[in-house]
Structure 1
Amino acid sequence: MSESFPRLHARTRRFTLGVPRAFTVAPDGARIVFLRTKGGCDPVTCLWEFDVASGAERLIADPRVIAADEENLPPEERARRERSRESAGGIVAYSTDAAVTTAAFALSGGLYVVDLRTRSVRHLRTPGPVVDPRLSPTGVHVGYVTGGAFHIQDLEDEVDHTLARPESSEVTYGLAEFIAAEEMDRMRGYWWSPSGDAVLVERADESPVERWHIADPANPAKPATEQRYPAAGTPNAKVELFVLTLAGGRVPVPFDDEYLVNATWDDHGLSIITMTRDQRTMRLFDVDPETGTSSLVREDTDPAWLDVVTGVPAHLSDGSLVWVTSLDGGRRLVVGDQPVTPASLQVRDVVGVNGDTVLFRASGEPTEIALWAYKDGRITLVSPQDSGVYSGQTAGGTLVITGQTLDGEGAVTRVSHHGRHVGHITSHAERHGLDLRVSLIRAGERELATAVIFPSGHVPGSAKLPVLMDPYGGPHAQRVLAASGAYLTSQWFADQGFAVVVADGRGTPGRGPEFERAILHDLATPVLDDQVDALHGAAARFPDDLDLSRVGIRGWSFGGYLAALAVLRRPDVFHAAVAGAPVTDWRLYDTCYTERYLGQPSEGHYDASSLFADAEKLERPLLLIHGLADDNVVAAHTLRLSSALLAAGRPHSVLPLSGVTHMTPQEVVAENLLLLQVDFLNKALS
């Protein structure tokens, strides 16, 4: 008997296991290093290499052969994986030297270096558990963090040197602070110089940040975990930068702004990006590593906020700056001081610069993300013409493109060399076995990108089905994409007898800055109005198939907030809700995310976007779900809303998940959560 979808969905970590990822192309284009598990249900990630000439793959490092204890992770590494939403185990990250002949990785707190030519793996001795090892470009040294101290080790004589020791238990050197990792997509805290003789290192002092305590009520003998959490309006960690030389030098690199967004150190010099606390001004500086003095290269401003775009700054071979900025209603690629993409093409990120070629992702149609290249004043579509979601890497004439379409099953990775297709890097992902019935439409007065999913056996017009809205609906994330993997859970819910509607309203990316900035100072009204608008637009498109007298809504994180908001404020439209890990009071969420949209709590925009004042309005079934170990959206959000509902005399259900974080990676929990939601919705909408 085959496994049920919920069980398979949980076991495969949402069908991500077995998919190749984290590609590094050698400078000559002859080899591609990547990560992948051996099977679609295997959670142990291995390091692999693809030979471009022969198309052959070879296993470089297998954690099971190394016999490392995957359960013995340092807490900093567990936190890093939670911030990056890493659900697999084994070798989940690696670095290489510039020549891509050596790789380094951490495994269960141990430091390992592998010669990619011979596949010989060395376990290097360290004074403590290792976090984020990174090879110098020359491959002579490897840097890493242990116990908050920044170390380097010489790979020839294996002598270890401590370049920076924390002055207290609240200080770390070389690690990204919580806000950088959670909200700015910066997972690193140090950057090697091209010559490998110096490192730019972040010093993060968390002593100003408020202490919170994450308890495990199911295990009262276990002490609560203390966490520094920068809630909106409260102090952030104090971040400083230093250039540390291998000879023992220490040069401060001062900056005045609140946030360190990113840093790069390439053949054209050392650069840093900083941003003010209100996120309306972003500055790019060139830094002299000898003195630490900086010079302003450019300053971007926006009356609402500025977006952090990964992959910049970068430089062409002649030193021309590669940047992304909002201009004339679009998010545009800038080379030098000139925009090189039209305002109609929304640039998502820069995935790489190779010589004079800039590889970037962008959307003309918001449900599609294509791969483009800029060179010599022209932009060229690199990914296939098929509608889909694509990414890639390039070097030495070799191009790796990973993409997913609505018609295909799972991601496909193609390799070409100087324009000639040479093969595929195999995916071992499990087949989901669903018959996708997804229609992408534009719904409502704002023509919102909307997906309507019917049961696989549904005959159009044969019956009106109860409706399940399945949004995220908030900024920084997009649900409606021309990619089959985006709808697997939604299709399973549809196969339980629902017409599922997924809509991206104002605030979601893909349609340009104006559409995203419509939620400024109000995270509730525009996003909820757009869900209602999309629902009615879908019903107008399929009038004989959607029963608007039975409408449920489910979501997680911001989607959970939106689900609870829907039944509290629009019970005339929504008849039941499942709210998973919802943000119920924005004062309890972090500084960078919340202040970007609502400003400081003293400015008066928080109450209108929070849920507590709406508690007495509840008249529909509401199920609240929350992991008690969640350190991102802490369980206090759900507990305080439940208390407000109880005080108002409003019945509701609460499902606490002991030991579960924001990701819910545990198989049994993930499987049963789907089943319990269906049961709740069936009863509520019957």
Structure 2
Amino acid sequence: MTTEALSFPRLQARTQRFTLGAPRAFTVSPDGSRVVFLRSRSGTDRANLLWVLDVADGEERVAADPQALLGGSRERLSAQERARRERSREGGAGIVSYATDAAGELASFALSGRLFTAELRAGTARELRVPGPVIDPRPSPDGRWIAYVAQGALRVVGAEGGDDRVVAEPEAGADPATVSFGLAEFIAAEEMGRSRGFWWSPEGDRLLVARVDDAPVQRWWISDPAQPEHAPQQVAYPAAGTDNANVRLFVIGLDGVRTEVVWDRARYPYLAHVHWSAAGAPLVLVQARDQRSQLFLAVDPDTGSTRMVHADEDPQWLDLFPGVPCWSPGGQLVRIADEGGARVLAFGERPLTGPQLHVRAVLDVSADDVLISASAGKKAASPEIGEVHVYRVNELGVERLSQEPGVHSAVRAGRVTVLVSAVPDRPGAQVQVLREGKRAATVTSYAERPGLSPRVTLTEGGARKIPCAVLMPTGYSGDTPLPVLMDPYGGPHGQRVLAAHNPYLTSQWFADQGFAVIVADGRGMPGRSPAWEKSIKNDMAAVVLQDQVDALQGLADSFPLDLGRVAIRGWSFGGYLAGLAVLRRPDVFHAGIVGAPVTDQRLYDTHYTERYLGDPNTQPEVYTANSLIDDNGLVAAAEPARPMMIVHGLADDNVVVAHSLRLSSALLAAGRPHEVLPLSGVTHMTPQEQVAENLLLLQVDFLRRSLGVTG
């Protein structure tokens, strides 16, 4: 079957939402001569290859081909590697991640639990025979060694394949089933944005290594009822109010000699970020359990002692940001902070940006400037709805590098910048390689074209000027009101209103089935202001739901919306929000599709849930007020009862299926009709092609039945 003959749902599923074949994971060599990246050979091929672009002539070449390296054999993943990919929402295959030495000459990666290296200048790749299964291999900065994790131990091997050795492994008497070195624990990978567990020294002679003992963490069991002959999988899941893993940090030499890094782990148990560069001492960011205080600590690698460089406190919570903290080449602390009601870039103790920008991430730090991504702040000249831009910042001022309205990010080294730009009127993202600000090359994308273009209006709804995207059917004349489908995520870290093309493809497909589709980013969502995000503290449910109602009713003054036929759909937090909508506001919402919802907040993880709702052991009433079911497992629902479709993957280890099963039981006990769609073998992602396609088709059928929509 040709791709031209495929329906949009099937094509979207086959292309993993049109991400396959798109270049990603860029690294620029310090001399600016090479750009390294991952990309599959086509828009329907899941297997990523490692590529190198020579900036001088713009030529792309393959540095490592997984099919050739594995001899055509099928890729096999360990349970730990599958878990790592689930945490990062990685649906690809082949080379899904890599690391390079400081010069960008040598790359290392794992395939089927085996260790491979690629010489990026020569374009050759080979396997190093080491014990496995290998996880997260990383070259030393000087390219002489590769460190990797295998069976809970951190090992190093010479870059030529010799002198493989253990540098850290569970101690005698420690349980190897619970103790590991060099891996991020569940909560760090899922919620803190820290996917790593070891960091090389700039000289390549020792490493900072996390030791994780998850023995204190309660055990849950994930089973596949469709495969009763398979034993359930045991997972260590730190649910809100329960114990986390015990995380320690060591400086470890290549000879295995270790020195523990010392800080008040009882007060600051979360190891949130680690940075080690030639610009200063090792730098760690540690957080209190309630996330309202954190310390920036400089480490003496010889003694393990620490000194405080900076401390933060916040009455609600402190967010974590990509790229910080770090040292500038001159030894100044670079961080992102909430000051004066704005989210600013701080250099040392001085803010370099003000309320005109809302800083989101630090992309690179040089001797001349700091490269950041940011959206318009609360005092910007215009709201720039859904836009994210790249800026150069120094003491002389701020310069915007990305000009076209859209969502932009960048990777930089020296004089070369890779600018990745997604804009509203073109599918996918364009990748430009800039040398001193001028285009030197373009990285090709092999992603499939979606075959439809969103008819989207970016606007603001309600008195709070909630950022919204409104989509109408292709060819719609505007003469009759349309049934409405609210299509939010609606919660922290999940901005959906973006000035780009591809984020609205599914929403447009639903619109083309005869709906006016609204995506609204209410309070709690990123990109506007600290106060906007933190207004959900202890009152998440009521705030996010009210903003969906306000956005809908505010937009009805400007768009032809049939407020007598309103449905809502969502996944994860969006599924939770959809459940809230039909249970608490049936006067507004007439049907809901509740996908993988967090129905009982006590069943979700510590770092996320406690940030917004505190400790359930000390304020249980907050958890009850923010859940879909109460302490007695009952549904507190308004009348009348509205149709609800609950969808959940039985293999989900993030939002476990117990959430949906408890909701269904509560609905049944209350005599409220609903449908449940269990997805056998499906995790929190839905990568299976047939499952992803048919989920869309079944949702449309449910919406039409529930709202009385024909055609």
Sort the TM-score into its range (normalised by shorter chain). over 0.9
Secondary structure at 1:356's aligned position in 2? Answer: coil
Query: 2:295, 2:311 within 8 Å by CA — same for their partners in 1?
Result: yes
What does residue 387 of structure 2 align with?
A: 368
Task: Answer yes or no: is the 8 Å Cα contact 1:366–1:511 preserved in 2.
Answer: no
The code of the aligned residue for 2:550 comes to D
User: Aligned ranges for residues 394-409 of structure 1 at < 5 Å?
Assistant: 394-409=412-427
How far apart, CA to CA, are the structure 2 residues paired with 1:564 and 1:441?
A: 25
Residue aligning to 1:556: 571
Q: Out of 498, 507, 518, which is 1:481 matched to?
A: 498
The equivalent residue for 2:150 is 146
Q: 1:76 aligns with which of 77, 80, 92?
A: 80
Distance verdict in 2 for CA 1:258–1:420, change over 3 Å = same
For structure 1, list consecutive stretches of 5 or more residues without a partner in the other structure: none
Cα distance, 1:336 vs structure 2: 1.5
- 1:497 counterpart residue number: 514
* Offset from partner CA, 1:548-579 (integer Å, 9 cap, x none): 10000000000000001100000000000000
Alignment check: 8 A CA contact 1:331 1:512 kept: yes
- Which residue number corresponds to residue 52 of structure 2? 49
Partner residue in 2 for 1:339: 351
Question: Could you tell me which residue of structure 2 aligns to residue 40 of structure 1?
Answer: 43
The CA distance in 2 between the partners of 1:512 and 1:596, in whole Å, is 17
**Aligned match of 2:532 in 491, 494, 515?**
515
1:3-402 correspondence to structure 2 within 5 Å: 3-67=6-70, 69-156=73-160, 158-166=162-170, 167-168=174-175, 169-255=177-263, 256=265, 257-267=268-278, 268-364=280-376, 365=384, 367-383=386-402, 385-402=403-420
Distance in 1 between residues matched to 2:330 and 2:603, nearest whole Å: 47
Correspondence 1:537 to 2:559: no
Give the secondary structure class of the aligned counterpart of 1:415: strand
Distance in 1 separating the partners of 2:666 and 2:256: 57
**Alignment check: 8 A CA contact 2:352 2:395 kept:** no
**What amino acid is aligned across from residue 628 of structure 2 in structure 1?**
L
Distance 2:339 2:128 in 1: 49
- Cα deviation, 1:490-531, whole Å, max 9, x if unaligned, reads 000000110000000000011111011110001100100000
Q: Distance in 2 between matches of 1:562 and 1:367?
A: 21
* Structure 2 residue aligned with 1:444: 462
- One-letter amino acid of the counterpart of residue 474, structure 1: G
Compute the displacement of 1:156 (Å).
3.2
Is residue 2:473 matched to residue 1:455? Answer: yes
Aligned length in residues: 682
- The structural deviation recorded for 1:192 is 0.2
Q: Alpha-carbon deviations, 1:281-309, whole Å to 9, x = none?
A: 01100000000000000001000000001
What residue is the counterpart of 2:662 in the other structure?
640
Over 6 Å off, 4+ runs? none
Q: 1:95-125 CA distances to partner (integer Å, 9 max, x unpaired)?
A: 0000111100001101001111222212111
Q: Does 1:578 align with 2:581?
A: no
Mapped partners of 1:366, 1:539: distance in 2:
19
How far does residue 315 in structure 1 lie from its aligned partner after superposition?
A: 2.0
**What TM-score, normalized by structure 2, do the two folds share?**
0.95
Secondary structure in 1 matching 2:121:
coil
Q: Name whichever of 70-79 and 407-416 sits farther off.
A: 70-79
Once the two structures are superposed, the pairs formed by residues 603-618 of structure 1 within 5 Å of their partners are: 603=619, 604-613=621-630, 614-617=635-638
Report the Cα distance in structure 2 between the residues aligned to 1:224 and 1:135, rounded to whole angstroms.
Answer: 36
Please say if residues 129 and 161 of structure 2, whose CA atoms lie closer than 8 Å, have aligned partners that are also in contact. Answer: no
Q: Which amino acid aligns with 1:55?
A: G
Amino acid at match of 1:507: G
Quote how far apart the aligned CAs of 1:589 are: 0.2
Alignment partners' CA distance in 1, 2:444 and 2:140: 30
Query: For residues 533 and 288 of structure 1, what CA distance do their matches in structure 2 show?
Result: 53
- The partner residue of 1:421 within 439, 458, 466 is 439
Q: Aligned residue for 2:381? A: none
Task: Using the TM superposition, give the Cα deviation of residue 582 of structure 1 relative to its aligned residue in structure 2, in angstroms.
Answer: 0.3
- The 8 Å contact of residues 506 and 519 in structure 1, kept in 2 or not, is answered as yes
Instruction: After TM superposition, give the deviation of residue 67 of structure 1 in Å.
Output: 2.2
Contiguous gaps of at least 5 residues in structure 2: 377-383
Distance in structure 2 (CA, Å) of the matches to 1:377 and 1:297: 25
Cα distance in structure 2, aligned partners of 1:248 and 1:641 = 51
Q: Give the share of equivalent positions with the same residue, in percent.
A: 55
1:408 is paired with a residue of what secondary structure?
coil
Separation in 1, partners of 2:328, 2:178: 39
Q: Could you report, residue by residue, the CA deviation over 1:581-619 in whole angstroms, capped at 9, with x for unpaired residues?
A: 000000000000000000000213100000114355460
Distance (whole Å) between structure 1 residues aligned to residue 155 and residue 491 of structure 2: 40
RMSD of equivalent CA atoms: 1.1
Letter matched to residue 399 of structure 1: T
Q: Provide, for residues 387-433 of structure 1, a one-character-per-residue CA deviation record: whole Å limited to 9, x for no partner.
A: 11000111121111001111121100011112221121011110001
Q: 1: distance between equivalents of 2:414 and 2:673?
A: 63
Moved more, 155-164 or 87-96: 155-164
Q: Map Cα deviations across residues 220-278 of structure 1 (whole Å, 9 max, x no partner).
A: 11100000000000000000001000123100002221200010110122010000000
Structure 1, 252-261 or 370-379: larger mean CA deviation? 370-379
State the TM-score, normalized to the length of structure 1. 0.98
The offset of 1:376, in angstroms, is 4.5
Quick check: 2:453–2:505 contact (8 Å CA) kept in 1? no
SS in 2 for 1:541: coil
Counterpart of 1:662 in structure 2 is: 684
* CA–CA distance in structure 1, aligned partners of residues 426 and 686 of structure 2: 27
For residue 224 of structure 2, what is the amino acid of its counterpart? D
> Is the deviation greater in 492-501 or in 165-174?
165-174
1:153-173 superposed Cα distances (whole Å, 9 cap, x missing partner): 012352211011123110110
Q: How much does 1:435 deviate?
A: 2.8
Give distance in 1, aligned partners of 2:212 and 2:144.
Answer: 27
Question: Per the alignment, do residues 21 and 292 of structure 1 end up closer, same or farther by CA in structure 2, a change over 3 Å counting?
Answer: same
2:385–2:459 contact (8 Å) kept in structure 1: no
* Conserved 8 A contact 1:616-1:650: no
Q: Offset at 1:64?
A: 1.0
Q: Displacement of 1:464 after TM fit?
A: 1.1
Bigger Cα displacement from structure 2, 278-287 vs 416-425: 416-425
Q: Which moved further from structure 2: 363-372 or 275-284?
A: 363-372
Deviation at residue 378 of structure 1 after TM alignment? 2.2
One-letter code aligned to 2:270: Y
**Which residue of 2 is the match for residue 682 of structure 1?**
704
Counterpart of 1:606 in 2: which secondary structure?
A: helix
Kept in 2: contact 1:70–1:107 (CA 8 A):
no
CA contact under 8 A between 2:575 and 2:593: conserved in structure 1? yes
Q: Does 1:631 align with 2:653?
A: yes
The answer as to whether partners of 1:403 and 1:413 remain within 8 angstroms in 2 is yes
Residue 522 to residue 124, structure 1, CA distance change in 2 (3 Å): same
